[in-house]
Structure 1
């Protein structure tokens, strides 16, 4: 290549990729745990829609049979757009007799149980007053030790994919849980999502 002024230059360009995200690996596990913290729920919206679409269409190549979804959020404002998706999935799963396909747990992390008690007393209804979902919103933070113990007990002999899109501190805690609960035939495999 000749540059301006008669000087010859060469340009080298190297391209590597494409690289997928950890969430693409969701489809490789029969049982999946998705943990989104705050806006970290974003990549899981498409994962949930995609897995459900393939499952509801009866596509035989869908390996994922059970999803445990956790969304940790400090305030209620973030729930609006994603609660709509969960309401739609909840209705479709019930309609198709697959209500057990998705187990979701939404946590308001800045609210404590005693602060929420007054709110719940005045808003007792079939659906959660905050999200409109049948599953009630939880307050505080999950007890990960209990959650992993329960999931492991329900799925012995299974490789469980654990996916996080959230802060590093939470990632370290989940990675530790994966290691300590991979026993008795169940294996938890940690994957970190970045975006």
Structure 2
């Protein structure tokens, strides 16, 4: 069962093995729905795998076919917001991903734009406190979850480059929901990397209306 708004473009994520999900502010809502759906499928496949255990050993055939009926193999989710309190909305989902995504299918990246980027002297104190608390307790003081937050907006070119390098010869579905500000940049990067990729990685850009 999928909770929250879930429009037609976002439903297309199931066509892709690799997805890049981007949500700005409240625009994270449909992206979170996708994350939950992916996690539910991963958990279902894990349970299915567990049911095939015979004499204390998982069959080699089952290992090879793990998640074979579920197409999405990797999801990168970038949530960008200027309001720290927004992270409370989906704290439960972030905790669930941290605890139950045993295969590392979902990568979550929270970005708080109201704090200067890492390395800026104006964010040194909070960055130090964040690192100390995370090292001691495994909890991010910004989001209150095991998902460590980043400061300032993502470098979208670096994000695309990272996905390209990790998934050669793949077609990546890029899904965005939020205000119009980054749409052209995300769309252009998808086109640029599709036409000039050294790894033959292709990016399909989709904008979700919310």
TM beyond 0.5:
yes
The aligned counterpart of 1:108 is: 112
Distance in structure 2 (CA, Å) of the matches to 1:150 and 1:122: 28
The aligned counterpart of 2:189 is: 177
Deviations along 1:138-160, one digit per CA (max 9) or x if unpaired, are 11111111111111011000000
Deviations along 1:64-95, one digit per CA (max 9) or x if unpaired, are 000000000002011102122111111111xx
2:74 to 66, 77, 100: 66
Shift of 1:63: 0.2
The aligned counterpart of 1:122 is: 129
Distance in structure 2 (CA, Å) of the matches to 1:52 and 1:85: 9
Moved more, 65-74 or 46-55: 46-55
1:153 to 158, 165, 178: 165
Distance in structure 2 (CA, Å) of the matches to 1:144 and 1:46: 22
CA contact (8 A) 1:21 1:194 kept: no
Distance in structure 2 (CA, Å) of the matches to 1:154 and 1:121: 30
CA contact (8 A) 1:68 1:102 kept: yes
SS in 1 for 2:191: helix
Question: What is the aligned-residue RMSD (CA, Å)?
Answer: 1.7
The aligned counterpart of 1:190 is: 205
SS in 1 for 2:133: coil
Distance in structure 1 (CA, Å) of the matches to 2:26 and 2:124: 26
Matches within 5 A, 1:17-36: 21-36=8-23
Larger Rg: 1
Structure 2, unmatched stretches of 5+, are 1-6, 46-66
Q: Which runs of 4+ in 1 moved over 6 A?
A: none
Distance in structure 1 (CA, Å) of the matches to 2:123 and 2:92: 22
Distance in structure 1 (CA, Å) of the matches to 2:42 and 2:95: 17
The aligned counterpart of 2:146 is: 134
* Count of residue pairs brought into register by the alignment: 173
CA contact (8 A) 2:20 2:75 kept: yes
The aligned counterpart of 1:52 is: 39
Structure 1, unmatched stretches of 5+, are 1-19
Q: Which has the higher helix share?
A: 2
Distance in structure 1 (CA, Å) of the matches to 2:201 and 2:209: 26
